[in-house]
Amino acid sequence: MRDGTSTSDGPRVDRRRARTRAALLAAAERLIVDGSAATATIQQITDAADVGFGSFYNHFTSKEELFQAATAHVLEEWARLIDAAVADTDDPATRFALSFRISARLAWTHPALADVLNQFGLDLLDLEDGLAPRATRDLADAMAAGRFTVTHLPLALSTVGGSLLGFLRLRSSHPDLVAVDDVEELTGQLLRMLGLDAAEAERLCALPLPHVDA
Amino acid sequence: MRDGTSTSDGPRVDRRRARTRAALLAAAERLIVDGSAATATIQQITDAADVGFGSFYNHFTSKEELFQAATAHVLEEWARLIDAAVADTDDPATRFALSFRISARLAWTHPALADVLNQFGLDLLDLEDGLAPRATRDLADAMAAGRFTVTHLPLALSTVGGSLLGFLRLRSSHPDLVAVDDVEELTGQLLRMLGLDAAEAERLCALPLPHVDA
């Protein structure tokens, strides 16, 4: 009977554990997107997740650990949304340009998310999820198609990523020094650097941006 | 007499205080350049500075505060060395190219210093001393001279700085993915982005580097 009890209880306990964990992550993601992650207490998080205070420590050893997991999830979700928005675009250089413009515009369209990217800083380039793997894919495709003439993929990712993060940081630290139109100026510079001629870079920067369904 | 004592003691005490502070900063700078700053204890720092353990807290509230001051000083010294090395160069675009190549090569020539830059990350772009103000000056001069065609100075600094830091980070995190020759590939890409044509960018990347007297 003891064996029978544990086999029937096991999955139920597992399901409850998984629900609690998912509720904590969802609450943390809402706090991140609201921009109130830094000041939230564990009590506020468990209240927002509608779970008991004590259950927090069954899943995470600290607030930081929860927010790290939640942040990775938020970034991956955003990368999927952007991917979906440009999925109809066959040309990889165009896909890259549209994705980059949407990402840099996050500083205006979704400032709390831009703050998350800022906090990650250049470590973002080493994440297995999120924007970096998509940018790597688009850069590689555009090189293979002969659209971009640069040949060193990690170097290209590093330059593009460093420029994006420098730009988001500039907007965050000195909001008076950059306007949303500068996104296209930056994108055009990077496209020329990657190997497009000036006219083609300008054309890609003038394309209407697809709707991102957030 | 009391007044007389304090006026004659005052400057002597001030001089001793200044010497102790300078000795602590110099010891911290040696530890930074050796790459052992992260593990050093306050006892080891005061021993290396040849000052009493207790005197540390007359000058700094924490090890972090000392290392922050020492790091800013190290970066400013390096910026001065690079400035001196390219001082004979009249053309601001050439000065920019040479300085950038020397800075990116620090990952190979002075890895501990490159680590310091890595630790600062993009915050480096907001420091009042060090590399960022020199890069700003060279970029502004090259724009004014019509050598660089970009027009947005903070954006140019942000892209150049983000690319440099991305590159130093790539070298530090994935040493197998970049070689010292890639410094010229990166510099060439940035020079084309700033507005030089490909041949001129290539010429500046092939110039012999001046000796930096460190």
Burial B5-23, CB ≥16 within 10 A → b, else e: eeeeeeeeeeeeeeebbeb
Cβ contact, residue pair B167, A165, below 8 Å: no
The confidence score (pLDDT) of residue B6 equals 47
Q: Kindly write down the DSSP assignment for every residue of B105-167, as one continuous string.
A: HHHHH-HHHHHHHHHHGGGGGG-SSSHHHHHHHHHHHHHHTTS-----HHHHHHHHHHHHHHH
Q: CB-based contacts of B90: which residues, under 8 Å, 6+ apart? A: none
Q: Does A173 touch chain B (CB under 8 A)?
A: yes
Q: CB-based contacts of B41: which residues, under 8 Å, 6+ apart? A: B63
Contact list in A for residue B166 (CB cut-off 8 A) is 122, 125, 158-159, 161-163, 165
CA–CA gap between residue A171 and residue A122 (Å, rounded): 16
The confidence score (pLDDT) of residue B4 equals 44
Average pLDDT, chain B: 90
B32 has a pLDDT exceeding 70: yes
* B185-201 per-position pLDDT tens digit: 999 999 999 999 999 99
- Please check whether residue A127 is in contact with residue A75, taking contact to mean a CB–CB distance below 8 angstroms: yes
- Please check whether residue A180 is in contact with residue A105, taking contact to mean a CB–CB distance below 8 angstroms: yes
**Structure letter (DSSP) for residue A130:** S
- Check if CATH label 1.10.357.10 holds for domain B63-214: yes
Give the pLDDT band (50/70/90) at residue B3. Answer: very low
CA–CA gap between residue A91 and residue B46 (Å, rounded): 61
- Please check whether residue B138 is in contact with residue B194, taking contact to mean a CB–CB distance below 8 angstroms: no
A10 to chain B, minimum CA–CA distance in Å? 42
The confidence score (pLDDT) of residue A37 equals 83
Q: Identify the CATH assignment for A64-214 out of 1.10.357.10, 3.40.50.150, 3.10.20.340, 3.30.70.360.
A: 1.10.357.10
B1-60: CATH topology: Arc Repressor Mutant, subunit A (1.10.10)
Burial of A31 (0-12, 13-18, 19+ CB in 10 A): buried
Q: Helices A198-206 and A92-109 sit at what angle, rounded to 10 degrees?
A: 50
Q: Where are the domains of chain A?
A: 1-60, 64-214
Cβ contact, residue pair B163, A164, below 8 Å: no
* A60-80 per-position pLDDT tens digit: 999 989 988 888 888 898 899
The confidence score (pLDDT) of residue A184 equals 97
CA–CA gap between residue A123 and residue B73 (Å, rounded): 26
Note the helical H segments in chain B. Answer: 2-34, 42-49, 63-85, 92-109, 111-120, 131-144, 153-173, 182-194, 198-206
**Structure letter (DSSP) for residue B207:** S
Contact list in A for residue B149 (CB cut-off 8 A) is none
CA–CA gap between residue A185 and residue A189 (Å, rounded): 6
Common-topology check for domains B1-60 and B63-214: no
Contact list in B for residue A192 (CB cut-off 8 A) is 192-193
- Please check whether residue A124 is in contact with residue A131, taking contact to mean a CB–CB distance below 8 angstroms: yes
CA–CA gap between residue A194 and residue B185 (Å, rounded): 12
Name residue A3's amino acid.
D
Q: Does B163 touch chain A (CB under 8 A)?
A: yes
List per-residue pLDDT tens for chain A, 214 residues long.
444 444 566 788 888 889 999 999 999 988 888 878 888 999 999 999 999 999 999 999 999 899 888 888 888 988 999 999 999 999 999 999 999 999 999 999 988 888 888 888 888 888 888 889 999 999 999 999 999 999 999 999 999 999 999 999 999 999 999 999 999 999 999 999 999 999 999 999 999 999 887 6
Contact list in A for residue B150 (CB cut-off 8 A) is 189
Closest CA to A194 of A97, A102, A98, A103: A97
What percent of chain A is predicted at pLDDT more than 90?
A: 68
Closest CA to A69 of A82, A60, A79, A56: A60
